[in-house]
Amino acid sequence: MRVLARVLLTAAVTCLSLAPVRAELPFKSGTFEPARQAPDFELQASNGAAFKLSDARGKVVALAFGFTHCVRVCPTTLSTLARVKEKLGLDADKLQVVFVTVDPERDSVARLREFVAAFDDSFIGLTGSSQELQAIRKAYGITINKEPEADARLGYQVHHSSSILLIDRSGKLRLFATFGKSADDIAHDIKLLVQ
CATH of the domain at 79: 3.40.30.10
Cα 111 from Cα 101, distance rounded (Å):
11
The predicted pLDDT at position 147 comes to 87
Q: Are 166 and 60 in contact (CB under 8 A)?
A: yes
For the purposes of burial, counting CB atoms within 10 Å of the CB of 101, is it exposed (0-12), middle (13-18) or buried (19 or more)?
Answer: buried
pTM: 0.85
Task: Please report whether residue 7 resides in a domain.
Answer: no
Predicted pLDDT of residue 156:
86
Q: Which amino acid is at 136?
A: I
* Residue at 15 is within a domain: no
State whether the Cα torsion 102-110-51-132 is positive or negative: positive
156-160 and 50-52 beta bridge pairing? unpaired
Element (DSSP H or E) covering residue 158: strand 156-160
- Measure Cα distances from 44 to 53, 59, 80, 105, 158 in Å: 11, 20, 24, 14, 21
Q: Are 56 and 96 contacting, i.e. CB atoms less than 8 angstroms apart?
A: yes
104 close to 129: Cβ distance less than 8 angstroms = yes
Residue 6 placed within a domain:
no
Q: Give a yes or no: residue 85 inside a domain.
A: yes
- So what's the pLDDT on residue 79? 98
Q: What is the pLDDT of residue 14?
A: 35
- Counting the structural domains of the chain, the total is 1
Q: Tell me, what's the pLDDT at 152?
A: 66
- Evaluate whether residue 1 is within a structural domain: no
Q: Residue 141: give the domain boundaries.
A: 28-194
Instruction: Output the pLDDT for position 25.
Output: 58
Instruction: Give pLDDT, residue 6.
Output: 41
In whole angstroms, give the CA distance from residue 66 to residue 76. Answer: 11
Average pLDDT, the chain: 87
In a domain, 5, yes or no: no
* Residue 163 DSSP one-character state: P
With respect to residue 22, please indicate whether it lies within any of the assigned structural domains. Answer: no
Query: Residues of the chain whose pLDDT is less than 70?
Result: 1-25, 151-154
Q: Is 154 inside a domain boundary? A: yes
